[in-house]
A and B are shown apart, each in its own frame.
Chain A
Amino acid sequence: MARQVFVLVGTRKGAFVLESDATRRAWQLRGPFCETWPTNHVVADPLSGTLYAGGGNEWFGPAVWKSTDLGASWTHSSQGLAYEAGQAPVKSVWSLAVGADGSLYAGVEPAGLFRSTDGGVSWTHIDGLQKHPSRPEWNPGGAGLILHSLVLDPADPNKIWVGISAAGVFASEDGGATWEARNRGTRADFMPEGQNYLEFGQCVHCLVMAPGGRGRLYQQNHCGMYRSDDGGRSWESIEKGLPSSFGFPAAVHPRDPDGLYLIPLNGDIKGRFMPEGNAAVWRTGDAGASWQANRAGLPQGGAYFNVLRQAMATDTLEPAGVYFGSNAGGLYASTDEGESWDCVAPHLPTITSVETLVLER
């Protein structure tokens, strides 16, 4: 048995898969898959190795694609992936996650949540989220009213967290029947002075759960970086020491709940690219108390790209691999916990998401 590492990449023009042995030194690139549909998220069921890709096509609408042979062949479905007749139609799938009980979840635009219990063949709308009393006041962010972050408790299938731009973080502890806003302590700098701390309406960009099962969450927000140690009920700013409060993705260390990776950009009204044109992945090993910039192997000077919400991930190997993909199509990999980097695929389409899968084969 040997371990194979797969990096699953969603792009504006289909899904790609990169594959390597556990040394992660030589990557084989396959794709584009999913008929080059705009693909917002590609994930794997770590137990079965089944791949799922979610996206939407301007012509043909939303779909979740599925591959049981690591990308060699794909099927697609959107059976039930629709709101009731008369509502604004589902435009695209933005996020996917496989639950502890094997259920597959899909977050969509306009923001809503669907569940499949048959491996993505058919879908049921979890309408409890849309019944939250704040729903009429949700406003879209720059990319639309998108449910882009989907966090499932690894042990309790009833616990679900979602991040919606720009409605904020919501959580359910009853499998999606009822929801509460969990945004206390996160800012909305775009609101009038004195109205910056809201119950909902914050522009969350990425929500991730730390390992360890103790309810720790991190989020990159349009307005700051935050940690929660109580399942999102309260948030504490961890942006001190970072070059800006603006960025899109966040990725947790696979084993260390104090380990987090962020990619701060130069600011939301300054072009949203790497500060000074110098790329860096910032790492904390103390839950955000202090930060170090990691630049080795990343472009320094002239790096006017960004990294989108779901476009950074870690793998489960030791030492952990860290991966990110840029809107300019460059996929970067680190095999030493983010310290040094290589560009392993320089010319992909705009990268929307990066996830990993490690299989014993």
Chain B
Amino acid sequence: MGGQEPAAASHDGPAPVLVRLPPHLVVLFPGADRLVPVNASSVAEMVDGLDALWPGMRERICDETPAIRRHINVFVAGRRARLSTLLAPGADVFVITAISGG
């Protein structure tokens, strides 16, 4: 994990992070947005939030390992993140389809 990891949130409930989704993921979920604020203090919680907004999005981003899918990259503060990566309040999160997948 990088030096950007936040300390545990001291307020009630996680603060929003800003998630950017790739177009070919958004197109699978009618009404989904490319730029989404989600209350989450970890990538796993962010995926929970996205799945609550658009049921089924979890299965597109994660496999049953459970892990982020092999050819999906989630970037936080310039580094590849895992489901366990913690998110600072207001973090910018990029969900990107890897070139290795197509």
Contact = CB atoms under 8 A, between A and B. Distances in A.
A82 to B, nearest CB: 4
Interface string B66-102: 1001111000000000000000000000000110111
Interface residues of B, number: 21
A63 B56 CA distance: 10
B102 A58 contact: yes
A271 to B, nearest CB: 27
Given A58-B101, A61-B69, A76 B24 contact: no
Contact of B65 (A57, A81, A89): A89
B56 A59 contact: no
A81 B65 CA distance: 13
A58 B73 CA distance: 12
A83 B56 contact: no
Point out which of B27, B60, B63 has the most chain A C-beta atoms below 10 A from its C-beta. B63
Interface range, A side: 20 to 34
Contact of A85 (B56, B59, B64, B70): B64
B15 interface: no
Interface string B37-69: 000000000000000000010011101111001
A164 B71 CA distance: 26
B102 A85 contact: no
A87 B64 contact: yes
Nearest to A80: B59
Interface string A72-88: 00001111011111110
B84 to A, nearest CB: 15
A82 B28 contact: no
A83 B64 contact: yes
Nearest to B100: A58
Given A60-B25, A76-B28, A78-B56, A85 B66 contact: yes
B64 A89 contact: yes
A59 B28 contact: no
A359 interface: no
Point out which of A57, A83, A85 has the most chain B C-beta atoms below 10 A from its C-beta. A57
A58 B71 contact: yes
Contact of A90 (B64, B71, B97, B100): B64
Contacts of B59: 60-61, 63, 78-79, 81-82
A57 B69 CA distance: 11
A18 B71 CA distance: 33
A10 B46 CA distance: 34
Contact of A59 (B65, B66, B72): B72
B64 A60 contact: no
Interface in A28-50: 35
Contacts of A89: 63-65, 69
B73 to A, nearest CB: 10
Point out which of A81, A83, A87, A89 has the most chain B C-beta atoms below 10 A from its C-beta. A89
Contacts of A78: 56, 59
A76 B72 CA distance: 19
Given A60-B25, A60-B69, A63-B59, 15 more contacts: A35-B24, A35-B27, A57-B102, A58-B101, A59-B97, A60-B59, A60-B60, A60-B72, A61-B59, A61-B63, A76-B56, A83-B64, A86-B65, A87-B64, A90-B63
The 3 nearest A-B residue pairs measured at CB: A89-B63, A58-B101, A82-B64
